[in-house]
Amino acid sequence: MKLSHYNEAGEASMVDVGGKPETRRTARAQAFVKMSREVLAALPKNPKGDPLAVAKVAGILAAKKTAELIPMCHSLPLSHVDVETTVEAEGIRVVATAATDARTGVEMEALTAATIAALTIYDMTKALDKRIEIQDIWLIEKTGGKSGAFRR
């Protein structure tokens, strides 16, 4: 298997996607913020505001800035980004969705959105417990492009 972000000399290189057709591409990624029941119970009383609402906005903004954060990512015209949070017994599940009509996929945008949303939840709740963990960051699914659909 050949990695696409290296040239023949073995140096890091941005992939030329100019010859690829524009197609509809989507991706969903997740992260899990593990925290105690006490921290979960305190979410509605957070003096900084609603951590889940702020995390949603932070994740959307992060997806839009992915190419500025990940060196070999292409800047993409995102047609949709969403971040959903679900409170579970052991923490908060973050699921980010990204979509575009472009020449390359949006996996990194979805992963970045989920990760930054999780970090935002941590930032807004860390005063209550420093043992909060961010876990299980991964791509759930992607569609479009030459490699086709993927589902974890």
Catalytic amino acids? 123
Using only C-alpha atoms, what is the Rg of the chain? 17
23-34 and 133-143: which strand pairing?
antiparallel
Q: What are the structure tokens assigned to 74, written together?
A: 């292409």
Gap between the Cα atoms of 93 and 85, Å rounded: 6
Eight-state DSSP code of residue 6: B
Gap between the Cα atoms of 19 and 23, Å rounded: 12
Alpha helical stretches, state H, the chain? 37-42, 51-64, 66-69, 107-125
